[in-house]
Structure formats: structure tokens, C-alpha cells
Amino acid sequence: MITAVVRYKLPSQIDHATCREHFHKIAPNFREVTGLISKHFVWSQSGWAGGVYQWEGIEDAKAFYTGPWLDGIIQRYGMKPQIDLYEVFAVTDNTSGKVELFKETVASK
């Protein structure tokens, strides 16, 4: 499993309410993204926003962060996003009461 943290600085014309409205509008569009497990749409008082994504594999993540998605981010926010990819070793999920441990995938390749 891969976690991606994607951040971009919001232009001054995109305030908290505008960002929230946009995220609410586009959230359903992520239902059909290949390999995407979940996405958290995030905003910070520091003026940064973005997403925290959970991916089945690194190939799906890398494929998504190119082409139309990247072009849309640059057009809307005026910058390339900062994208950090992390291999997930374990997940503690307190809502389900489960702990998942994952085999090595990225570092061994």
C-alpha cells in the first residue's frame, strides 16, 4: 500500500469556503480512479491544501499524478504540487478494531 501526500499553495482568491465547495464538488469524481483506496481532501490555515491518498500500488499512484490531473492542478492553483510517496508498513484502524501489517513492496524492487 502507498500513501501519497499532495500539497499546493492556494492562490489568494481561493479562501476556505471556496476550497471546501470545490472539494465537495469533485470528491465523487474519485470513485472510479484505478487503484485508489481513499482520498482525504485537506485544507490548512497556512494557505496550503491538497490530499492524502491511499493507493493499492505505486504504479497506479505515479500514473495518476501525470497528464490531465497534473494539468488541472497547475491551471487551478498556479503551481506544480508537492507530491511525497510513502510505502505503508502497517495500519491501525480504531474504527474497525483491526491492525494490518504489510509485506515489503517498494524498497525491495
Report the domain count for the chain.
1
Residues 30 and 39: beta-carbon distance below 8 Å: yes
- CB atoms inside a 10 Å sphere around CB 62: 14
Render pLDDT for 7-48 as a digit per residue (tens, 0 to 9): 999 999 999 999 999 999 999 999 999 999 999 999 999 999
Check residue 23 and report its DSSP letter: H
Residue 12: per-residue pLDDT: 93
Which structural domain, as residue segments, surrounds residue 66?
Answer: 2-101
54 pairs with which residues across the strands? 3, 38
Which CATH number fits the domain that encloses residue 96? 3.30.70.100
Render pLDDT for 46-73 as a digit per residue (tens, 0 to 9): 999 999 999 999 999 999 999 899 999 9
> Which grid coordinates belong to 3?
500513501
- CB atoms inside a 10 Å sphere around CB 8: 20
